[in-house]
Amino acid sequence: MNSKLIIAIDGPSGAGKSTLSRLLSQQLNYINIDTGAMYRAVALAASREGIDSEDCQGLEALCHRIEIHFQRENGHESVWLNGEDVSEAIRTPQMSLLTSKIAACAEVRQAMVRLQRQMGKAGGVVLEGRDIGSVVFPQAEVKFYLEASAQARGQRRYDELVAKGLEVDLQQTIHEVEARDAADSAREHAPLLRPEDAVAIDSTALTIDQVLEKMMVVVSQRLEQRA
């Protein structure tokens, strides 16, 4: 039996999934698969090629001709699209909203799910997104659902963008978080939901280190059970 786990981290935008997925994978020496970044990369490619977010056939064809991969070097993780580092380009507010629309296309989700399953089937991976434990890897041995208030998530996003030198409005950023929540929860294909067997962690009043500690306790227990 493979002793390495498949770990799924789900939750709404801004709950800390990307950061905690990266930290948890480092702690365990696992591969970190940022599934949200994969959809963002598709959104960026679609924007550059002028493909409408409702043109699901055009988006499906796009998914088959682009190449997405992750790279870790000197502790830094980057997202690559067709040989270009797009780690920053996919993180703008515009890409966040477009990504939610792109991800609503069943054809896009099917293409990304196939790729995610291929990347993670051997175990030893941490995947984060909005439907990992419910759709992509319902058989994952460890599932987390990270959540936080929209105000807290909007503040974090605002602070992140300001730190990058961008001019943003706090209330508008919170509104964008709420709009993303509504779009993700209402979409027809693989909507955001909490798997029944997921461990829920509310990070509103917790630091990243405190959340990571809680997650490591759960993972350690599961590893001991499999030993």
pLDDT tens, residue by residue, 49-88:
999 999 999 999 999 999 998 887 776 788 999 999 999 9
Binding site annotation covers 204?
Answer: no
pLDDT tens, residue by residue, 130-166:
889 998 999 999 999 999 999 999 999 999 889 989 8
Q: What is the rounded average pLDDT of the residues 14-22?
A: 90
Element (H, E) at 3: none
Binding site annotation covers 99?
Answer: no
Binding site annotation covers 75?
Answer: no
pLDDT tens, residue by residue, 90-143:
999 899 899 989 988 999 999 999 989 988 988 999 999 888 999 899 999 999
Binding site annotation covers 17?
Answer: yes
- Determine the pLDDT at residue 222: 93
Binding site annotation covers 106?
Answer: no
Domains of the chain: 6-216 (3.40.50.300)
